[in-house]
Amino acid sequence: MTMSIALNNSYGQIDISTDVIAKIVGGAALDCYGIVGMASKNQLKDGFTELLKKDNFSRGVIVHFDDNQNLMVDMYIIVSYGTKISEVAVNVQNKVKETLNAMLGLDAAAINIFVQGVRMTSEETLTEEE
């Protein structure tokens, strides 16, 4: 079941699906340095850490609300080998917070990052082979 967020303004009400928010959040994360891709939140069930395509970001991003109806975002990411994971996570949190505010006018109470894996990107592989 897909939930939605209702925003009210002077023109009426706007309903935004949590799947749309997940795609916006996933796209913002991929713009950050050190991110290889999004991972499935069901890593144990899926059996391996797969990179998700843009159409499947909702499998790697959970948008939910706490008891006080504050927006919470959980993100499952794969980082690039050789990057400082803590810096990548903070950069993703900042980028997602800015993007949510700029595109939807939403403030997330928390953006939780779960690193599901570390991978070498194709550019790093080519450099090492030379």
With a pLDDT cut of 70, the percent of the chain lying above it is 77
Q: What is the pLDDT of residue 14?
A: 87
* Residue given tokens 């967020």 in the structure block: 5
Is the torsion defined by CA of 43, 103, 20, 2 positive or negative? positive
Decide if pLDDT at 108 tops 60: yes
Q: Which residue has the higher pLDDT, 56 or 72?
A: 72
Q: Which residue has the higher pLDDT, 123 or 40?
A: 40
Decide if pLDDT at 41 tops 90: no
Decide if pLDDT at 127 tops 80: no
Q: Which residue has the higher pLDDT, 53 or 127?
A: 53
The mean pLDDT of 100-106, rounded to a whole number, is 91
> If we measure between CA atoms, which residue out of 125, 94, 119 comes closest to residue 39?
119
Q: What is the pLDDT of residue 98?
A: 95
At 59-99, the pLDDT tens digits run: 788 998 888 888 899 999 989 999 999 999 999 999 999 99
Domain carrying residue 56: 4-129
Q: What is the pLDDT of residue 68?
A: 82
Q: What is the pLDDT of residue 28?
A: 92
Domain count, the chain: 1
- What average pLDDT does the structure give for the chain? 81
Is the torsion defined by CA of 52, 114, 49, 40 positive or negative? negative
The CATH number for 26's domain is 3.30.70.1350
